[in-house]
Amino acid sequence: MLSFRGGVHPSENKHSTRHLAVETLPLPPVVFVPMSQHIGAPAKPVVEKGAEVRTGTVIGEAQGRVSVPVHAPLSGTVTGVTEMPHPLAGNRVMTVVIESDGKDTPDTGIGERAADDFTPEQRIEAVRAAGVVGMGGATFPTFFKLSPPKEKRIDTLLINGCECEPFLTADHRVMLEQPAEVVDGALLIARALGVENLIIGVEDNKPDAVETLRRILPSVSDGAQPCSIRILALKTLYPQGAEKQLIKACLNREVPSGGLPMDVGCVVQNVGTAVAVRDAVRFGRPLIERVTTVTGPAITEPKNLRVRIGTPVKALVDYCGGYRAAPAKLIMGGPMMGIAVASDEIPVLKGTSGVLALDADTAAELEDHDCIRCGRCIKACPMGLAPQRLYYHILRKRLEAAERDHVLDCIECGCCAWTCPAKIRLVHHFKFAKSEINARKRRAG
């Protein structure tokens, strides 16, 4: 079975939502739309308090080379343009507050297009203008990944349908309910890149998704396709959906230390991103909504929901019957790589793949102890690092040594901490070290 070295097998906990069709959350009365929802420079607000906007109107313009615009997720009146704490980072960022008029009137720029006649450059520009970013959680501007340097020859596009994080089932439902859109979006990306191979990788714990995609493939693709297309069933192993691990499993290529997928001829996109690309290129529809899993033992009725960007998380929880018990921890994303947040008043972002509410039993954090040098973290690390050695470097403030031992290659997947019998918060130490090393480099250069 196709896979990679290392990895772990946390309990999947997907049973509550994997068979539930996506429901559309009613329009919220108010949305809070941060200008920073992607890796790179935040967008700059271009609306003022009192402005009337339509669904899809540009409310934030891209700034700099790595940036994308932000759009109004519903029609209504701008009631505020102000700094607010970022839902995940905590720093204050410009945020546009829109009060809904309940009409959801679309912007005039949205409508069907003759996308099949577009040049690669036109497809990429449509993706940029729509504000599409990676929807698996990384939120890297998609147009930038579709514009590799000319010296980087890309021969393979990988579409990530693994969804290896426990609890989350949003991508699974997208593949089951929108398989034609997934394949069509993937083909549009493939044409923009001019690749020879298109692979959609899905973990083998989702056999229905693999079968659905394979069944729909002939009706979506046509005989004139310039690339081969394969749907691959991959071994269920966390973090199978990480870019470098997906490339290793599907192609047996290894991204070099400090390198990117394009260094081995690949571009990786998420299935949700493929659908967003299809909406952008064929209909000029900006990224203003996404499918999100709301789940966890503290949620009364877990669901998969289609929600508008900027909707307060509390609205999602209320739609799911509220809390079964007061949540001991609320996480945006999955339990392995998600970020704990302090309140459900924060808004859904483009990268919000899930909202996970844990009760006191599941959120309990055991006290960490001294390392017993068992080596489990080394065996589990999918990047081939020595977490134990890195940990001791960082404790002793030997950041140069940690960098030499490739701490910057850590993908923060959490495999080491999950398998550690001493319950050491290894990822916290590695995040700190990476932040300090990068800050020193910025100051030096």
List the chain pLDDT tens, one digit each, 445 residues. Answer: 667 889 999 999 999 999 999 999 999 999 999 999 999 999 999 999 999 999 999 999 999 899 999 999 999 999 999 999 998 887 899 999 999 999 999 999 888 888 888 999 999 999 999 999 999 878 999 999 999 999 999 999 999 999 999 999 999 999 999 999 999 999 999 999 999 999 999 999 999 999 999 999 988 865 556 688 999 999 999 999 999 999 999 999 999 999 999 999 999 999 999 999 999 999 999 999 999 999 999 999 999 999 999 999 999 999 999 999 899 999 999 999 999 999 999 999 999 999 999 998 887 776 788 899 999 999 999 999 999 999 999 999 999 999 999 999 999 999 999 999 999 999 999 999 999 999 998 888 7
Tokens of 435: 């932040």
CA distances from 418 to 202, 236, 356, 426 (A): 23, 17, 18, 9
Question: Binding site: what residues are annotated?
Answer: 371, 374, 377, 381, 410, 413, 416, 420
As a whole number of angstroms, the distance between CA 4 and CA 51 comes to 52
**Residue that the structure tokens 């998380």 belong to:** 313
Burial of 373 per CB tally in 10 Å (0-12, 13-18, 19+): exposed
Cα–Cα nearest to 355, from 142, 73, 141, 88: 88
As a whole number of angstroms, the distance between CA 159 and CA 413 comes to 19
Burial of 437 per CB tally in 10 Å (0-12, 13-18, 19+): middle
Give buried/exposed letters for 55-76 (b at 16+ CB in 10 A, else e): bbbbbbebeeeebbbbbbbbbb
User: What letter represents residue 241's amino acid?
Assistant: G
As a whole number of angstroms, the distance between CA 163 and CA 186 comes to 17
What local confidence, expressed as pLDDT, does residue 220 receive?
A: 81
Over its C-alpha atoms, the chain yields an Rg (Å, rounded) of: 21
Burial of 125 per CB tally in 10 Å (0-12, 13-18, 19+): middle
Phi, psi of 55 (to 5 degrees): -65, 115
As a whole number of angstroms, the distance between CA 170 and CA 165 comes to 11
3-state secondary structure of 24: strand
Tokens of 9: 């097998």
pTM above 0.85, yes or no: yes
Asked if residue 408 lies in contact with residue 428, where contact means CB atoms within 8 angstroms, the answer is no
Burial of 392 per CB tally in 10 Å (0-12, 13-18, 19+): middle
Whether the upstream peptide bond of residue 239 has omega within 30° of 0, thus cis, is: yes
| Number of H-type helices and E-type strands within the chain | 14, 17
In terms of phi and psi (left: phi > 0; alpha: psi -120 to 50; beta: otherwise), the region of 402 is alpha
Angle at 392 between CA 386 and CA 393, to 5 degrees: 90
What local confidence, expressed as pLDDT, does residue 109 receive?
A: 83
The CA-to-CA distance between both ends of the chain, in Å, stands at 45
| DSSP class per residue in 76-129 | EEEEEEEEEE-TTT-SEEEEEEEEE-SS-PBPTT-S---GGG--HHHHHHHHHH
CA distances from 334 to 22, 292, 343 (A): 18, 11, 16
User: Architecture of 115-283 per CATH?
Assistant: 3-Layer(aba) Sandwich (3.40)
Domain positions in the chain are: 23-109+287-361, 115-283, 376-444
DSSP state at residue 192: H
Question: Do the bridges between strand 289-295 and strand 354-358 make them parallel or antiparallel, or are there none, so unpaired?
Answer: parallel
What local confidence, expressed as pLDDT, does residue 224 receive?
A: 55
Tokens of 212: 């659905």
Question: Binding site for [4Fe-4S] cluster: what residues are annotated?
Answer: 371, 374, 377, 381, 410, 413, 416, 420
As a whole number of angstroms, the distance between CA 213 and CA 350 comes to 24
As a whole number of angstroms, the distance between CA 108 and CA 29 comes to 22
Report CA 49 to chain centroid distance, whole Å: 31
Tokens of 372: 């017993």
Q: Residue 159, Cβ neighbours under 10 Å: how many?
A: 27
Top-tier CATH class for 23-109+287-361: alpha beta
As a whole number of angstroms, the distance between CA 96 and CA 166 comes to 33
